[in-house]
Amino acid sequence: MSGAARILALAVCLAATAPAVDATIADDGPDALAARLLAARADEREPLLALPQYATAEVARALVAAGRKDGPAGADAAKTLDAFRTAEGIARRIGAEREVALALLASVEALGVQGKLAPIPPMLDEALGIYESLGDAAGQAETWNSIGNYKNILGEPGAALEPYEKAFRLWSSAGDEIGGARALNNVGNVHRSLGSLDEALQAYEQALPVFEGHGDRARAAVVTNNVGLVHFERGEYPEALAYCRRSLAMQEALGDPYRVATAAHSVATILRAQGAYARALEVFYRALKIRQEIGDTWGTMETLNNIGEVHFSEGDYRLAIDAYKRALGMNAKMGGDVQLAEGLANIAAAARRLGERTRAVANYRESLRLSQRDGYRGIAARDLHDLGRMALEEGRLSEAKDLLGRALAARETLKDQAGIAESLSGLAALDLAAQRPRNALLRAGRAVEIARAIEQPELRWEAETLSARAYRTLGRADEARRALERAVAVIEELRLQAGGEPSVEGFFEGRLSPYHELLALALARGATAEALEIAERSKARELALLLEKGRADVAGRMTQEERHEERGLQAALVSANRALQGERQEETPDPARVPALETERDTRRRALEAFQTAVYSRHPELPVQRGRAAPFAVAEAAALLPDPSVALLEYVVLDDEAYLFVLAREGGRVRLDAYPLGLGRRALEESARRMRERMAGRDLAFGDDARALYERLLAPARTRLAGKTHLVVVPDGALWEVPFQALRDPAGRYLIESAAVSYAPSLTVLRETLRPRAVREGPPSLLAMGKADFGERQAREIADLYEPARRALYLGPEAREDRFKTEAPRYSILHLAAHGELDEASPLYSHVVLSPGTSGSSEDGLLEAWEMMDLRLTADLLILSACESGRGRIAPGEGIVGTMWAAFVAGSRALLVSQWKVEATSTTELMIAFHRGLAAGTGASKAGLLRQASLEVLRQPRYAHPFYWAGFVLVGNPY
C-alpha cells in the first residue's frame, strides 16, 4: 500500500491550543466555589448562583480551568461542557465580556474534539467581536487560532492557514512568545497536511525552542511529536520513531490521556510502516481505548483507520475494510474531505486485493477527485500510483506510464521517500513489461536503497524482487538469486512480526512471488532438493507452525473485563445466527428480512473478529511464544515414506509454469525428481474448475477432463509412479479443486483403481501429523453425531460397528453443539453426519449444522470453523460427512482455509471431508464401508480403507459416476 496513514493535524493542533489558566486559589476561593457548583444538582445550583460570591469573573475563570483539567476532550464530555457553559452564564450575568469570550472559546475547543460542529461558528464570531471591542490583541489571536482549528476540523487545511498566520502576527506584536509558538505549531500542521513538509519542519523548529525555553513541557512534547511526523511522512522512519517515542515518554510523565493517546498513535503508525505489525496493533489499541474513553471522536476515527491498515498489511482485507468503514461512518457524521479521500483510497486498496476491481477503481477515482480539488497532494499521489499499477496489470502500458510518472513527480516534490520508493518500483515493473530490463534495474535498485535507508521492509522486498527479474532477464542469474534471497529474508522477518493467529492465514497472499522465482532459478541450475525446500517455505506456513508449537493460550490471559466483553459479543452473534436460521427455515422466508438479518450477522461477526484481534494485540508476548516453525527438509523424507509403495507428489503452480516433485523410496534410499508440466496458473485454474463442476454436477462429459488432467498432472512422472499403490498429493492453488482419485489413465482406469490417494497441505504439515502422540489403550473410540434423517441413519449404522463400551452416539436433538465441544476431545474418531454450509466469503464461518440444545443454551447449533479452532482435540481422525466440508478459500501460501484448516488447528491428525455437495445414500454406503474396516482394527492405512470403500461404491452401476464416490478426500496423516 502506498505511503502510510496520514496523522490528522487536528489532534496535535488542538492539543497545543488551550491558553493557560491560573487556578491556584485558596480552598474557599474561586476554584472551591467552582467545584461546588459543578458537584451540585440542577435544583441546587440556581440558589448558589444567586449568591454574590459565586457571581464573579474569578469563579467563571475557575470553571473554565476545571473543565480543561483533563485535556481537550475531558474525561467526561458532558461535564466538561457543563463547566464551560456555567462559566459563560456567570460571565454574561455580571457583564464580564472577557470571561464570556474565554468560556466560548473553551466550549468551541471541546465541541470540536467531540465532533459537534454546528454550534461553533456563531460562538467564534461572538468571541472575536468581544475581543475586538476590548482592543485585546491576545484574545483576538486566541480566537483566530480557534478559527484555524475549526477549519482544520472541517478538513479545510488551506483555509486554516490565514487564521493561524493572523494569530501569529497578533501574538508576536503583543510580545507573547508562547502564543506565537502555538500559532507556528499550527501553521506547521497545515503545511504538513498539505504535503509541504519543508515549510512544516521550519515552523515546528521555530516553535520548539520557545516552548523548551519557557519550560512548557506539554507543548514541547506536542511539537516534538509533530517533528517526528514530518520525518515519518518523508519516509525517514528511524528519525521519526526517535522523536515520537521521546514525545510519548514526555506525555506519559505529564499524565494527560489525550496527549498520551496522540503520541502513542504516532509511534504505532511508524511501527506499522516498519513492518512491526504486532507491536503496532498493541499500541494502536492502547490509543483507541484512551480516545474512546475520553470521547475523542476524531482521534477514534483516525486510530480505526490505522488499525485497518495493519489488517491490510497482514493480508486480512475484509477486516481492514470493516475498520475503514467504521472510521468513514464516524467521518460522515462530522465532515472532512481529507479523511473521506484517504478512507476511500484505503477501501479501494483492499478491494483491489480481493479482486473487486470495479469497486477499487471507483473509490480511487473519487478519492483522487477530492484530493486534487482540496490540495491533498500526498493522497492524490497515492491514488495516481495505485491507478497506474492497476493499468499496468491490465496491460495498458501508456496509461500506466502517465499515472505512475505523475505520482513519482508529486512524491519527489513532497520529498516523500517511502512514496518515491514505491513509485520507482511501479515504474520498474512497467519497464519490465515494456522489455526495458536495464531501466528497470536502475529504478528498482534505487528503490531498494531508499527502502533500506528508511527501514521500510514491505517496499524493500518488492523492489528486491523487481531487481531480480531484471537481473534474470539480463542473464545474470547469480545476482537474481541473491536479490530474491534478500527479498525472502525480509518477508520471513515480517512474518515474525505479524499480529497473531486471528489474521495470519492470509499473510503470504501477495508475498509469494520471490519464493516462486527463487524456486524456478533453483530448478534451472538443477538444484531440485533446494527447489522443493523453497516450495515448502511457501506453503501452509501458519498451519505448520500451529501444529508444531500449539496455539497460544489467549483465553488464559484475558482479564475479567475482556472475558465479559467476549461473552457479550459471542451471545450477540449466536442471537443473530438463530434469527437468520429461523427466517430461512420458514416455509416462505421474507425476501426483505433475510438480507437484513445477513447484514446483522456479518456485523456481529466483524465485531467479534475485531475484539479477538484487539485481545491478541494487548498480550504481545503471545506471538513471540510462537517463534519459527522448522520447514521440511528433503533429508526428512524417509520418515514420511513407510515403504516403497508410497510416493509423495508435491505440486507448485507459478504464473507461467507448474512443476511436480516426486519423492519415493528406490533401492534403499529416497529419490527426488522434478517435472515441468507445461502449463501455467490460468490454464490449470480453468481445467480444474471445469472438471470439478462437471463431477459435482454429475455431468457425463467429465471423462475428457479426467483424461486431460491425468496427462498433464501425472503422466510426466508415469515411470516413477509405476507400481506405487499409495499417492500422497500436496496440491497448490486451483489443484485443491481436482479430485485426483477420479483422474483416468489412457486405458480409462480411474487412479483410485490403481492406488490409494490422500492429501496434505504441505510436507511440513504431513510431518507434523505423523509425530507420535501418547499411545491410546485398546481399540479406537468413536463419537458419532447424526442430524437430519440421512445423518441419523448413517451415524446409527456406523456406531453399530464399534464396541458399545467405546462409542458414544447422539442423534437428532441430542446431537448438540455444546455436547460435541465438551466430549470430542476424549475420542480418537469423530464422525459428524449433518448438513454443512460453505461460506465462500468468510470461510472460517463455514459450519456443520448440529442441534442448538435446550432453551437458554449459549449455542446456536452452528459448529463454525472458527469455533472448532478453539477445541483441543486429540483425534486421529475427524470425519465431516457434510456437503463441501473440505472446501474454503484457496489462500496463496496457506492452502484451503476453512473447516478443514480449523480442524487441523484444533488438533485432529487426519480429516475425511467432501469436495462438493454429496448425495445422502451413496455417502452413507461409503462411510459404512470405510468404518467397517476402521473398526475391525486390521492395521490397514486410512487411505487404503478409503480406497476400498470408494471401490465398493464405484462398482455399483448406479454409483459409477465419480460424483457418488470421489467426493470425499482424506487429508493429513494417511497411515
Chain CA centroid to CA 300, Å: 18
Question: Which residues partner with 758 through β-bridges?
Answer: 728
Torsion angles phi and psi, residue 896, rounded to 5: -85, 115
Task: State yes or no: pLDDT of 200 exceeds 60.
Answer: yes
pLDDT at 893 over 70: no
Query: Any idea which residue has 514491505 for its cell?
Result: 458
Residue 136 has pLDDT above 90, yes or no: yes
The β-bridge relationship of strands 669-676 and 895-898 is unpaired
The residue behind cell 469455533 is 867
Is pLDDT at 627 greater than 50 in this prediction? no
pLDDT of 946 > 80? The answer is yes
Backbone φ, ψ for residue 117 (5° rounding): -95, -25
Confidence check: pLDDT of 67 > 90: no
Say whether pLDDT at 12 is over 50: no
**Rounded-to-integer distance, Cα 758 and Cα 739, Å:** 10
Percent pLDDT > 70 in the chain is 91
CA triple 414-415-416, angle to 5 deg? 85
Question: What average pLDDT is seen over the chain?
Answer: 88
State the residue for C-alpha cell 429461523.
582
Question: What global pTM score does this model have?
Answer: 0.73
How far apart CA 409 and CA 423 sit, in angstroms, is: 9
DSSP letters of 489-552? HHHHHHHHTS--TTTGGGTTTT--HHHHHHHHHHHHTT-HHHHHHHHHHTSSHHHHHHHHH---
Higher pLDDT, 563 or 307: 307
Rounded to whole angstroms, how far apart are CA atoms 246 and 221? 8
Of residues 130 and 563, the one with the higher pLDDT is: 130
**Confidence band, pLDDT 50/70/90 cuts, at residue 44:** confident
Report the pLDDT value the prediction gives residue 42, as an integer from 0 to 100: 82
In sequence order, the 6+-apart residues with CB closer than 8 A to the CB of 126 are: 100, 101, 104
Q: What pLDDT was estimated at residue 316?
A: 83
Q: Is the pLDDT of residue 180 over 60?
A: yes
Rounded CA-CA distance 323/316 in Å is 11
Those residues with Cβ within 8 angstroms of residue 784's Cβ, 6 or more apart along the chain or in another chain: 795, 798, 799, 807, 808, 809, 810, 831, 832, 833
Backbone angles phi, psi at 731, to 5 degrees: -75, 175
Write out pLDDT tens, residues 808-829.
999 999 999 999 999 999 999 9
Query: Given a cut of 50, is residue 580 above it in pLDDT?
Result: yes
From CA 371, how far away is CA 377, in angstroms rounded? 7
Q: How far apart are CA 127 and CA 635, in angstroms?
A: 80
Map residue 818 onto helix, strand or coil: helix
Q: Which helix (H) or strand (E) holds 68?
A: helix 57-68
pLDDT digits (tens, 9 = 90+) for 331-360: 877 666 778 899 999 999 999 988 899 999
One-letter amino acid identity for 755? A
User: Binning pLDDT at 50, 70 and 90, where does residue 68 land?
Assistant: confident
474: pLDDT strictly greater than 80: yes
Q: What pLDDT was estimated at residue 4?
A: 35
Lowest-confidence segment of 216-230, 275-289, 441-455 by average pLDDT: 275-289
Least confident of 213-222, 846-855, 894-903: 894-903
- For range 415-427, the mean pLDDT: 95
Query: Is the per-residue pLDDT at 13 higher than 50?
Result: no
Tell the burial category of 304 from Cβ atoms under 10 Å away from its Cβ (0-12, 13-18, 19+): buried
Of the two residues 776 and 157, the one the predictor is more confident about is 157
Question: Which sign does the torsion angle of CA 325, 328, 330, 333 carry?
Answer: negative
Q: Is the dihedral of CA 387, 393, 394, 400 positive or negative?
A: positive
Q: Between β-strands 888-891 and 968-972, what pairing exists: parallel, antiparallel or unpaired? A: unpaired
Tell me the sheet residues that pair with 816: 851
Q: What is the reported pLDDT for 788?
A: 83
pLDDT at 43: 85
Q: H-type helices in 744-876, by residue range? A: 763-769, 788-799, 817-823, 865-869
- Looking at residue 10, its pLDDT comes to 38
Lowest-confidence segment of 384-388, 492-496, 715-719, 901-905 by average pLDDT: 492-496
Dihedral of alpha carbons 241, 247, 250, 256, sign: negative
Q: Tell me the three cell numbers of residue 811.
A: 442423534
Distance CA 933, CA 61 (A): 87
Predicted pLDDT at 19: 42
- 421 vs 542, more confident: 421
Give pLDDT, residue 622: 55
- Considering only 460-474, 509-523, 567-581, 697-711, which range has the smallest mean pLDDT? 567-581
pLDDT, residue 15, reads: 40
Rounded Cα distance between 82 and 62, Å, is 13
Instruction: Report pLDDT digits (tens) over 725-755.
Output: 999 999 999 999 999 999 999 999 999 999 9
778: DSSP letter = S
Q: Supply 606's cell numbers.
A: 466483524
- Which tens digit of pLDDT belongs to each residue from 873-891? 999 999 999 888 878 777 6
- Give the CA dihedral 188, 193, 196, 202, nearest 10 degrees: 20
Q: Which of 692, 705, 774, 6 has its CA nearest to residue 346?
A: 6
Calculate what percentage of the chain has a pLDDT beyond 90. Answer: 64
Joined grid coordinates for residue 395 = 496491460
Q: What angle separates helix 337-353 from helix 377-393, to the nearest 10 degrees?
A: 20
- To 5 degrees, how large is the angle CA 359–CA 365–CA 371? 135
- 528-539 burial: b if 16+ Cβ within 10 Å, else e: bbbbbbbbbbbb
Residue 570 grid coordinates: 459471542
Instruction: Round to whole Å and give the CA distance between 588 and 582.
Output: 11
* pLDDT higher than 60, residue 609: yes
Q: Return the pLDDT at 628.
A: 54
